Amino acid sequence: MWSYEKKLQYPVKIANTNPALAKIIITQYGGPDGELGASLRYLSQRYTMPYPELKGLLTDIGTEELAHFEMIAAIVYQLTRDLTIEEIKESGFDTYFVDHTTGIYPVAASGAPFTSAYFQVKGDAVTDLHENLAAEQKARTTYDNILRMCDDPDVRDPIKFLRQREVVHYQRFGEGLRLTTDRLDYKNFYAFNPEFDCKKPCK
C-alpha cells in the first residue's frame, strides 16, 4: 500500500518566521477539521466499505491526507524556527511554547489537543460518505480563513494548494456517493446498509 517518497507533496519554503501565524495554521495539524483527523477517518472507514472502488478511493485520499499532515508540520516548523524568547512572548506563542517548546504537537488553534472525537466511522457507506463530504468542506473553509489572515506569499502558496486538494477530495467523495446510491434501490437506500445488510459481497 505505502510508497513513501522523501519529499513533500508540494514544496514549503518559508523565508520569514511568524509564530503568531503558526499558532493559527497548526489547527490543520491537530484541530477539529485538520489533516490528522481526515487521514484517520478515511483510512479507518475503508475496511468495511462495500465496493472496491470506495475502498480504493478512501485509501488514496486517506494517504494523501497524511502527506498534507506532513506539509502542515513543515509550515509550522519553518514559521517557528530559531525564535528568540522575546519573539515568542511578543507573538503570543508563549502559551504553546510552555508546553511544547517549538516541537510540532497536534492541537487546534485554540490550544485544545487532538482527539478521536473529531472524526467518525459509522460503518454505513451513505452515512460515512456524507460525513466525508462535510469534512472536506469544513477543511476548505478553514483554509479560506487562514488565507484571509495571511499575506506572506511563501505561506499562502502551499496553503492554496492544500485548499484546492480539499475541493478535489469533495468532488471525488461526491462521485463515490453517486456510485453507492446508483447500486442501491433508490426507494430504500436510507433503510439499507450495504456494509452490514448484504448476505453476499455487494457488487
Average pLDDT over residues 117-127: 95
Q: What is the pLDDT of residue 199?
A: 55
Q: Which domains does the chain have, with CATH numbers?
A: 19-182 (1.20.1260.10)
Confidence of residue 126 (pLDDT cuts 50, 70, 90): very high
C-alpha radius of gyration, the chain, whole number: 19
113: helix, strand or coil: strand
53: helix, strand or coil: helix
Q: Which residue has the cell 469533495?
A: 170
Q: What is the pLDDT of residue 197?
A: 76
Q: What is the pLDDT of residue 195?
A: 75
Average pLDDT over residues 161-167: 98
**Phi then psi for 157, rounded to 5 degrees?**
-60, -55
- With pLDDT > 90 as the criterion, what percentage of the chain qualifies? 86
What average pLDDT is seen over the chain? 93
With 0.85 as the threshold, say if the pTM is over it. yes
